[in-house]
Structure 1
Amino acid sequence: MKRKLVLEDGTVFIGEAFGADVEKIGEIVFNTGMTGYQEILSDPSYCGQIVTLTYPLVGNYGINRDDFESINPAIHGFIVREAAEFPSNWRSQLSLDEFFKLKKIPGIAGVDTRKLTRIIRKYGTLKGALCSYEKADEEILSHLKAAVLPIDQVKRVSTKSSYPSPGRGSRVVLVDFGMKHGILRELNKRDCDVIVVPYNVTAEEILNLSPDGIMLSNGPGDPKDVPQAIKMIQEVQGKVPLFGICLGHQLFALANGANTEKMKFGHRGSNHPVKDLTTGKIAITSQNHGYTVEEESIKHTDLDITHIAINDGTVEGLRHKKLDAFTVQYHPEASPGPEDANVLFDQFMEMIEAAKQKGVSPCQSVLI
């Protein structure tokens, strides 16, 4: 069965349908990772987006139970050059087609993904529609141009209520803006007593949980669409060590007077080089973001730039000059991707232990 991909600039791609027989509209983005398609399709940061994979063969090792970054994928579609019909891997339980049917996500194969990627790189991210082959291009285009992309992605993917992930070590409150399971996995690996809380949690609610540290997770969309989180960060920073990743990094910057801006086509892949300005070392990192912290806006804040992207010079890390707080734009939990930056979780643990030695205790009461 054929399926059609229509871009808002009028470009039309015809390909083979796989996955669910539904129509979806979303922002078209591309990811350059050569492996890790299961982690990519289940990353909540892709909420509402239609993801193009530049690697030509996708689905060859199937779908397994262990490599998900969320329980329910939030993407609106998948675009690939070739979707493997018969995966071969000892862990494989479903094909890409079977999984997408199960989760009601449409996919299209047989598309010139190189051409599509070049369009996005030239003109920036575009709205696109995955729809039936029989539908008239003019009708799709008219609907597409009138469509307004959602701004409540964080609300859609965040947990609705708090829950614990018990450990015997330091208590970390993990604010879920669209958390990848890899972040929770790294904290659990360090025996942290983690409490995951919703995106709209208040500072008072966090401090009442008696945290030793606060983690701000990754998530989808524009950080300026989550103003309540900015206020929360302003009220908790300085009272307990803080570590932010991706969207958490951008929200931290906004909370401290910096500005963020939309990128032309973003960073999405598992091989992005980042320089640590403190050590001079280069790390290969996993990234997925469409917004960045504006470098010029940091000059009159209490923030220092700690990392920069080698490819385009954008801000990749921040540290507060006076408070125990640091953030990175990339994903140190690296799912998928290299583990060069995994040490950042250890640095967070060291910051927490140092704060304990100082006798820092921000908590007013204990609820758990």
Structure 2
Amino acid sequence: MKVLMIDNYDSFTYNLVHLLQANLGEENVTVVRNDHIIMSEVGAFDKVILSPGPGLAKDSGQLMDVIERYKYTKPIFGVCLGYQAIGESFGAKLINLKKVYHGVATPMELVEDDPLFRGIKSPMMAGRYHSWALEDLPSCLTITAWDENGIAMAFRHRDLPLHGVQFHPESILTPDGPAIIKNWLSL
């Protein structure tokens, strides 16, 4: 299996890359910055993962273009900014939170039988580094985890192989993070 990591210029990108490589080997994970994507080459990969990143998805190079072009044909997993980008591509609304979550672990209630969370007990602790969140998710996106304040923290698409998490599975603050990555790779 060949996985493309789209790097949204985030310091956590290579934590995710190392988790992927631990499962697939170094030669099966390719990292490309969001403003250096050759769109036709994305098709050569089996799966795409969208890294966290600063700022907004609309300002993140070709991130939204990749989602629009491949969301109906490729398994895509979005983390933090990547999660927000997938959600926005289907019409979810991005809101700026009153409370900022940077470097904190909070419990997530897993509310759907999502294979992404197979073998993980609810509630699970998850590391958070964000000041934005999604709301008004369309019916095609099933919310699979909530935080204690009712903020959507994960979703899966009802019909397409798309998943996203607002939290950081690659963070030391997310003990079940390696299992989440392994589960996604097995889907």
- TM-score (norm. length: structure 2): 0.86
* 1:74-153 equivalence runs, <5 A: none
What amino acid does structure 1 have at the position aligned with 2:34? Y
Give 1:324 shift: 0.7
Moved over 4 A (4+): none
Give 1:227 shift: 7.0
- SS of 1:190's partner is helix
Aligned counterpart in structure 1 of residue 102 of structure 2, from 241, 262, 268: 268
What amino acid does structure 2 have at the position aligned with 1:206? V
Percent identity, aligned pairs only? 25
- 1:346 equivalent in structure 2: 182
Q: Deviations over 1:292-349 (max 9, x none)?
A: 011xx21x44211111112x11110011111111010001111x32412332111211
Aligned counterpart in structure 2 of residue 320 of structure 1, from 157, 180, 184: 157
Say if 2:34 and 2:61, in contact at 8 Å, map to a contact too: no
- 1:282 equivalent in structure 2: 123
Aligned counterpart in structure 2 of residue 238 of structure 1, from 59, 72, 79: 72
- SS of 1:342's partner is helix
Say if 1:263 and 1:290, in contact at 8 Å, map to a contact too: yes
1:186 aligns with 2:19: yes
Say if 1:306 and 1:317, in contact at 8 Å, map to a contact too: yes
Q: Distance in 2 between matches of 1:196 and 1:303?
A: 27
* 1:51-62 equivalence runs, <5 A: none
Give 1:238 shift: 2.5
The size of the alignment, in residue pairs, is 175
- 1:293 equivalent in structure 2: 134
- SS of 2:133's partner is strand
Give 1:218 shift: 0.5
* 1:41-80 equivalence runs, <5 A: none
Give 1:287 shift: 0.8
- 1:360 equivalent in structure 2: none
- SS of 2:45's partner is coil
Say if 1:221 and 1:290, in contact at 8 Å, map to a contact too: no
Aligned counterpart in structure 1 of residue 8 of structure 2, from 152, 160, 177: 177
Unaligned runs of 5+ in 1: 1-169, 352-368
Tell which structure's C-alpha radius of gyration is larger. 1
Instruction: Name the one with the larger strand percent.
Output: 2
What amino acid does structure 2 have at the position aligned with 1:288? Y
* 1:188-207 equivalence runs, <5 A: 188-192=21-25, 193-200=28-35, 201=37, 203-207=39-43
Say if 1:234 and 1:256, in contact at 8 Å, map to a contact too: no
Give 1:270 shift: 3.5
Q: Distance in 1 between matches of 2:143 and 2:61?
A: 23
Cα RMSD, aligned residues only: 1.8
Unaligned runs of 5+ in 2: 114-120
Q: Distance in 1 between matches of 2:24 and 2:62?
A: 30
Distance 1:276 1:305, change over 3 A: same
- SS of 2:20's partner is helix
Q: Distance in 2 between matches of 1:274 and 1:257?
A: 24
- SS of 2:31's partner is strand
- SS of 1:293's partner is strand
- 1:308 equivalent in structure 2: 146
- TM-score (norm. length: structure 1): 0.45
Say if 1:256 and 1:301, in contact at 8 Å, map to a contact too: no
What amino acid does structure 1 have at the position aligned with 2:124? A
Q: Which has the higher contact order (CA 8 A, sep 6+)?
A: 2
